[in-house]
Amino acid sequence: MTTTLANSPDTATVRGHCVPTGLFIDGHWRTTDSMFDVIDPATAQPIAQVSDGGAADALSALDAAHAVRAAWRQVSPRDRADLFGAAHRLLLSRADIFAEVMTAESGKPLAESRAEFALSAEFFLWYTEQIAHLHGTYAPASHGGYRVVTSHQPVGPALLITPWNFPMLMIARKAGAALAAGCPVIVKSAKETPLTCALFVETLREAGFPDGVVNLVHTTSSAAVSAALMADPRLRKVSFTGSTGVGSTLLAQAAPGIVNASMELGGDGPFIVLDDADVELAAQQAVVCKFRNAGQACVAANRIIVHRAVADEFTKRFVELTEQLTVGNGFDDGTDVGPIISEAQLDGVTELVATLRGLDTELLTGGAALPGTGYFFAPTVFRVAGRPAELCDRELFAPVATIYEVESTAEAIEFANDTRYGLASYVFTRDLSRALAVGERLDFGMVGINRGIMADPAAAFGGIKASGLGREGGHDAIYDYLEPKYLAVTVNEEEGLA
């Protein structure tokens, strides 16, 4: 049975669900002459073709966003929240559709897709609830005679560039905050996972979001599309999740026009297991933190740093749990780890493992791509001696775990901080005071204490140093799309009291 979601003449049927395949600009789906394939990484076969937009299409989307910017910012908080509420209800009614399409195009296990959808819907609900709570301030001037009134206004049209590894979470988190703040958006989807973005945008359209407020461009020419938008003075905001290299390029492009920028970039997550840790808990959480989404996550455990006193016990248990993971098609029952996203990415994992084999390391399990169709790689664990320059300060972004030993808590902290990145870090210890003391000394935007998963709508998600700027989630997220505005109001107190 086919589920129809799209009010579009151009659709693809994926797992029995009808998904729009065009670009969405100014309230309408439109098709381009050029198309590109969406590949299921579990089978290496195309599952759909979508329109391949270019710079001209992106600028048309900006035309639409710019034209409605004043009207959208003037929509009352209650009316805007009502639109969000309608969209949230529609999203929940389509949970299975989103999860199945997400698994089809990204390869992640269906259980992970369902969990990602649930978290995404929670983020969207959080922004729904925050819309009516964007408050300003009122205060007397320091020397009297007038009042200092501060409010917040939308930055303006925003470019949202989403990655392929969490296609639902990223668009819900970014678009939710931007739209709640009153900013119209142009979403540039990842070419590997455009279908989930299309379903999300179609759901907003059906919920009643006005024409031009939400726009979507798929493209295989990301650099050209982004450069054209970033050079246009009408664009006032860019939010990007992806590599630090691309983020640096976008920041350079943002500089001439002083475009407001939020960046969620690469990570080098140290996962610290101290000598008093609950080793079983640490091993279980390390497996989740490392191998979720086949290791393709910026917050994944990148360097597992273990105190020598528990290193053998932890390593033995971590390897046992890793070898219990089932690799396979995300739709198969019991699959724990899905495929790598693409053939090129799989080649990169193979090269990474070859590099590791050439260093002072010991391969404990895995270490090779799996035979057959699809882009599968065995969950892999290396024990690493010393601190090889080829590995340290490098984001692995693969189902490859590296375990390092240290002699002390001080050495663990020093090694953890020896990186240009500063996104997520993790500490395992039974002592709360110790956990707080170590957590406060880690130069990272987020620290997980005795847990390997941290994303939450109420939390400020983001990093420091080369891992980014700004926060997504929590009270900070919407304010990343707002600018404070100060009104100095003269008050003649004598006349006012006459």
Among 152, 149, 205, residue whose Cα is nearest residue 26: 205
Strand order in the sheet with 214-217: 28-30, 23-25, 214-217, 185-188, 158-161, 237-241, 260-264, 468-469
Q: Distances in Å between the alpha carbon of 138 and those of 17, 74, 83, 481, 486?
A: 52, 21, 30, 21, 10
- DSSP-assigned letters across all residues of 398-454: SSEEEEEEESSHHHHHHHHH-SS--SEEEEE-S-HHHHHHHHHHS-SSEEEES-S--
Strand order in the sheet with 11-14: 3-4, 17-20, 11-14
Q: What share of the chain is helix, strand, coil (3-state, %, to 5)?
A: 40, 25, 35
Neighbours of 293 (CB within 10 A): 21
The first and second tokens of residue 220, run together, are 């295989």
- Annotated active-site residue in 116, 202, 298, 472: 298
Residue 264 is among the residues annotated as catalytic for this protein: yes
Rg (CA), the chain: 24
Residue 298 is among the residues annotated as catalytic for this protein: yes
Beta bridge partners of 138: 149
- Annotated active-site residue in 264, 395, 405, 472: 264
Query: Residue 210 burial by CB count (10 A; 0-12/13-18/19+): exposed, middle or buried?
Result: middle
Catalytic residue ranges: 264, 298
